[in-house]
Amino acid sequence: MPLVITLLLSGCQWITNPEATSDPASQQLNSEQTKIAPNVPRLEGKATVELVVNGSPIQIEVNGNMAPVTAGNFVDLVQRDFYEGLTFHRVLNDPEPFIVQGGDPKGNGRGGFVDPKTGQTRYIPLEIVPKGREEPIYGQTLQEAGVDKAPKLTHTRGALSMARSQMPNSASSQFFITLTELSFLDGRYAVFGYVTQGMDVVDTIQKGDRIESVRVVSGADNLQEL
């Protein structure tokens, strides 16, 4: 079964990770813990990350102002060289553009980052800042939280967002980039950055293409270890 499967639930298309759904550790983040996000580095500010795919660069601005935990998790994994050599295991662009998804160390859609300090998969909470607020809402979609406002970071073309299961606190290392505007995902998935250069490269990604290299170009000093 592929890592990220698409389910239609109440009219919503979920990008899911079956392994995370069945792992009770991914559900241990309660409302207090998600605010603290223990053992997950935070990005206090912005960073620029460059991925090289098929010999061509893709530049991404990662926004720690709006998603400090999600962005911190991603930049930390970049700094660890975790993403180098991993494939884009899920590409949906036919009959219409949708997403490209990568970040799975197993290459089959069932993997996440295993913290060598604990030997356990590191999960992060769903983290979304709605318009009109300064702080993120953790552990709930905006719909579940009863918020009828749009998030500040939306799924426009080129958005960088975290893949997860139906459970809100099940994201780990897998991310996706939107190939078109996908507003129905807004408030349901955590956008934490945008492609600023190389979207033409993203458009050509095929299933199985590898991330040849990835590095933090700027903003690495904004990563705060906990």
Query: In tens digits, what is the pLDDT along the chain, a chain of 226 residues?
Result: 233 323 222 233 346 544 444 444 444 444 444 455 778 999 999 999 999 999 999 999 999 999 999 999 999 999 999 999 999 999 999 999 999 999 999 999 899 999 999 999 999 999 999 999 999 999 999 999 999 999 999 999 999 999 998 899 999 999 999 999 999 999 999 999 999 999 999 999 999 999 999 999 999 999 998 7
Instruction: Give the residue among 155, 154, 206 at the shortest CA–CA distance from 180.
Output: 155
User: Could you tell me which residues come within 8 angstroms of residue 215 by beta carbon, excluding any fewer than 6 positions away?
Assistant: 49, 50, 78
pLDDT at 27: 43
5-29+45-219 topology per CATH: Cyclophilin (2.40.100)
List CB contacts of 31: < 8 A, sequence separation 6 or more: 138, 139
pLDDT of residue 226: 72
> Helix, strand or coil for residue 70?
helix
| 64 three-class SS | coil
Predicted pLDDT of residue 39: 80
What's the pLDDT at 15? Answer: 60
**CA–CA separation, 219 vs 136, rounded Å?**
21
Output the CA–CA distances (angstroms, integers) from residue 63 to 30, 49, 66, 161, in the order listed.
24, 11, 6, 11
Q: Phi then psi for 88, rounded to 5 degrees?
A: -90, 100
- pLDDT computed for residue 36 by the predictor: 55
| Residue 225 pLDDT | 84
- CA distances 88 to 3, 132, 182, Å, are 11, 35, 19
Q: What does the pLDDT read at residue 195?
A: 98
- Of 182, 132, 136, the closest CA to residue 43 belongs to 136
Predicted local confidence at residue 35, as pLDDT: 54
What pTM, to 2 d.p., does this model score? 0.87
Beta bridge partners of 57: 52
pLDDT at 58: 98
Residue 175 exposure: Cα atoms within 13 Å on the Cβ side: 30
Residues sharing a CB contact under 8 Å with residue 172, sequence separation 6 or more, in sequence order: 17, 20, 26, 112, 113, 121, 122, 123, 124
pLDDT of residue 5: 29
Task: Give CA–CA dist 60/64, Å, rounded.
Answer: 13
Say what the pLDDT of residue 13 is. 39
